[in-house]
């Protein structure tokens, strides 16, 4: 048997504005890609200029008759190659930087939710119920073992007796009554 757990975001998290302290953050053309249009344009220009330069050097250099005349064009094409590589490096660096910034913003966005969940876990642990005890709450229709994650942090959870379970017609939780 599989159990599906749903995670509810606190209302505060959805209202929380995304940080605008850095203009790079989430300022991308396509949310699935971390590159801004300007970054793509710059790396594309560097790469393109380098490749065009290499071609131009090859074309001009091959027209020279002697080796001595060809050497300067060879050197130039190497320099153009460096420009192309710089374009690719720039592309990588900007991408990684943007991913880091977006990651930081998502973490910040989740803070209220994480805090709430953490507080709920601590409250749940603070309830002094020994293992093996069956628990439920007035609003629940099922009975759980005290360690069950379904009752963790829920309000009104208290130990119930066999009589109470029969009286209220509580059924066993599928998650913690396995096996």
CB 135, min distance to Zn ion, A: 9
Q: Please identify which residue in 51, 137, 150, 170 interacts with Zn ion, judged by CB under 5 A.
A: 150
Q: Of how many residues is the chain composed?
A: 179
Q: How many residues bind Zn ion (CB under 5 A)?
A: 6
Nearest residue (CB) to Zn ion, 83 versus 143: 143
CB 172, min distance to Zn ion, A: 8
Q: Work out whether 101 is an interface residue with Zn ion (CB under 5 A).
A: no
| Sign of CA pseudo-dihedral 9, 12, 17, 19 | negative
Q: Work out whether 146 is an interface residue with Zn ion (CB under 5 A).
A: no
Q: Work out whether 160 is an interface residue with Zn ion (CB under 5 A).
A: no
Token code pair at residue 112: 């209220």
47 to each of 76, 97, 140, how far by Cα in Å? 15, 20, 64
- CB-nearest residue to Zn ion: 173
Chain residues 106-145 in contact with Zn ion, contact rule CB under 5 A: 144
Nearest residue (CB) to Zn ion, 94 versus 145: 145
Q: Which residues are paired to 135 by β-bridges?
A: 144, 159
Rounded CA-CA distance 163/146 in Å is 17
Q: Work out whether 25 is an interface residue with Zn ion (CB under 5 A).
A: no
Q: Which residues are paired to 158 by β-bridges?
A: 136
Burial label, 46 (beta-carbon count in 10 A; 0-12, 13-18, 19+): buried
Q: Work out whether 170 is an interface residue with Zn ion (CB under 5 A).
A: no
Where does this chain bind Zn ion (CB under 5 A)? 144, 148, 150, 173, 175-176
């Amino acid at each position: 048997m599989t159990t599906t757990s749903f995670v509810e975001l606190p209302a505060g998290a959805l209202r929380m504005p995304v940080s605008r302290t850095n203009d790079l953050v989430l300022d991308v053309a396509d949310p699935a890609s971390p590159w801004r249009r300007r970054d793509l344009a710059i790396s594309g220009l560097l790469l393109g200029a380098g490749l065009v330069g290499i071609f131009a050097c090859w074309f001009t250099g091959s027209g020279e008759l002697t080796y001595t005349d060809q050497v300067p064009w060879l050197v130039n094409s190497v320099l153009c190659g460096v420009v192309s590589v710089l374009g690719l490096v720039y592309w990588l660096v900007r991408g990684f930087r943007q991913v880091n910034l977006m990651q930081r913003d998502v973490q910040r966005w989740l803070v209220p939710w994480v805090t709430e969940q953490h507080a709920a876990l601590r409250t749940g642990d603070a309830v002094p119920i020994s293992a093996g005890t069956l628990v439920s709450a007035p609003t629940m229709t099922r009975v759980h073992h005290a360690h069950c994650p379904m009752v963790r942090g829920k309000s009104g959870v208290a130990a119930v007796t066999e009589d109470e379970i029969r009286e209220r017609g509580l059924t066993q939780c599928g998650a913690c009554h396995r096996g």
